[in-house]
Amino acid sequence: MQINFKLERRIGALSENPSGYTKELNVVVWDEKYTKYDLRTWNPNGKPGKGITLTKEELKKLYKLIGEEIRQIGGYNE
């Protein structure tokens, strides 16, 4: 089964490992109909690895949860 995707917009990379794989947050269109926020690894050739997709509502909830967690662990000092 082939999954089609189009990388609509790169938001940013979180990390890169020595072999060139990056963990990125992007906007991706899956199967030409599902536009999602996407957090996953990408290989140096631009192919997606394992990750998660989020709706706009899920992204907003994740943002809120991350903010709460950062406050719990001592703020935005880094």
Name the residue ranges covered by the structural domains of the chain: 5-72
pLDDT at 53: 96
Lowest mean pLDDT among 1-5, 7-11, 62-66: 1-5
- 27: β partners: 9, 37
Q: Is the domain covering 5-72 a CATH 2.60.120.560 domain? A: no
The structure tokens 């990388």 sit at 7
Task: Give Rg (Cα) of the chain.
Answer: 14
pLDDT at 16: 97
Instruction: Report the pLDDT averaged over residues 41-52.
Output: 93
Banded model confidence at residue 12, pLDDT cuts 50, 70, 90: very high
Contact between 28 and 3 (Cβ < 8 Å): no
Look over the chain and give the mean of its residue pLDDT values, rounded to a whole number.
Answer: 92
pTM for the whole structure: 0.82
Instruction: Report the pLDDT averaged over residues 39-60.
Output: 95
Q: What are 41's two structure tokens?
A: 């690894």
Distance set, CA 6 to CA 1, 12, 67, 71 (Å): 17, 16, 30, 35
